Structure 1
Amino acid sequence: MEKEAQLVSNILSGDIKSFEILMSIYRNRIYNFLLKMSLSKEDSEDMTQEVFVRVYNSLYQYNSKWCFSTWIFKIAINVFKTEYSKKKYRDSKKFEDKLNKYQFLQIAEPEKVLENMETRLEVLKMLDSLKLDQRMALVLKYVQGFSYKEIGQVLKMSPENAKVRVMRAKKLLVNNYGRFKGGIIHEM
């Protein structure tokens, strides 16, 4: 956190190189988060760029007492919510279009390729079926590795509520996956 606070101080003093360093620290994490949320490479790239524009324009508001990662993810979530509300009803892409089929070409067996694509497609559908706040909490926890306290800070809720949100999302995914596989998942 000290390093990030120093980078912010340098940027505010006019050091553009420090902003490049800050971007290199967070670019992949922000992009991966937005990719899991939007399921679109193009949209994720655009939103990642918008996040860093907003970060640059808002750095003077950053307080070094805050954890920089939670601050930047709040901005990423705001960018995502804005884009999501714009695209929600006009986005006619099917999940099949969003699924990157080319990554499966390295598998030699065509049956395995088809099986992997179908499974991934179902997982994407299940993830997309979650409420937006549940999906965000789940991705922050299991993709970004945030603690419940950090998730609470990003989503503006208590750590306990963040934990409940993650657990509910996880339970829904497990139950939906059980139905997808044709079985019944018993609660633990």
Structure 2
Amino acid sequence: MEMIPARAEASDVELVREAKSGDLEAFDALVIRYQERIYGLVHRAVGDGEDARELTQETFVKAFRNLLRFREEAAFSTWIYRIAINLATSKKRTYVKRRKLGGVSLDASVRTRSGEVHVEPEDSTQEPTEVYRRKEIQERIHRAIGELDEAHRKMVVLRDLEGLSYEEIAATLDLPIGTVRSRLHRARLELREKLKDLL
């Protein structure tokens, strides 16, 4: 699905207003703009690609159904991230209750706003042992993030992997900025402790 050039230049505010007035192509443009980011966010939260695809779709369905209620007091990105996080959190709780398991998929590569970060080196001349070592490190990091409690994991994912500002995180999670900063600080300290042999 490719965005129409005029739509690619439009701001989120313009697209939201057009979508509210019934322009489905405007909402499609928002989906195209945010689908990769939402997928990456929920994938890290639930650790399963299939669940992440379903939750991404569910996020946009819920956003579309509730678009008229969106008051534009916050940015569209903040609003849709909040929907995605709430759905992923709910899914994860259901999964944990059902299976008594949880965590982050160790097979998944890290996805950020700019796309996937692969473990495999661009340079094919790199030694296989180095490739293996880097994969091991990435798996340890995934595991350590998955072991954080939910509040701390959200902070690390939104700030360090998604690149959101403190203000965006505060708006997305409906928390004071001070709380965001302190939780992120504690989460990073916990990660450092878990990964101290790698540092």
Do the structures match in fold with TM over 0.5?
yes
1:19, 1:41 → 2: CA distance?
A: 24
The answer on whether the counterparts of 1:40 and 1:98 sit within 8 Å (CA) in structure 2 is no
Aligned pair 1:167/2:185, yes or no? yes
Aligned match of 1:26: 34
Higher deviation after alignment, 46-55 or 99-108:
99-108
The answer on whether the counterparts of 2:45 and 2:104 sit within 8 Å (CA) in structure 1 is no
Q: CA deviation digits over 1:122-177, x for unaligned, max 9?
A: 11110001111111111111222222122111112100100111111111111111
**Counterpart mapping for 1:1-188 below 5 A:** 3-91=11-99, 98-100=106-108, 104=120, 107=124, 109-178=127-196, 180-181=197-198
Higher deviation after alignment, 161-170 or 111-120:
111-120
Taking only aligned residues, the RMSD between alpha carbons, in angstroms, comes to: 2.6
1:146, 1:105 → 2: CA distance?
A: 26
2:150, 2:164 → 1: CA distance?
A: 17
2:78, 2:152 → 1: CA distance?
A: 17
State the 1:95 CA deviation: 7.5
What is the percentage of aligned positions where both structures have the same residue?
26
2:104, 2:180 → 1: CA distance?
A: 31
State the 1:42 CA deviation: 1.8
Query: What residue ranges of structure 1 are gaps of 5+ in the alignment?
Result: none
Task: Return closer, same or farther for 1:96/1:170 CA change in 2, 3 Å cut-off.
Answer: closer
Q: CA deviation digits over 1:53-96, x for unaligned, max 9?
A: 11111101101232111111110111101111111144588979
Query: What residue ranges of structure 2 are gaps of 5+ in the alignment?
Result: 1-9, 110-117
Between the two proteins, the alignment pairs up a number of residues equal to 180
Runs of 4 or more above 6 Å deviation: 92-97
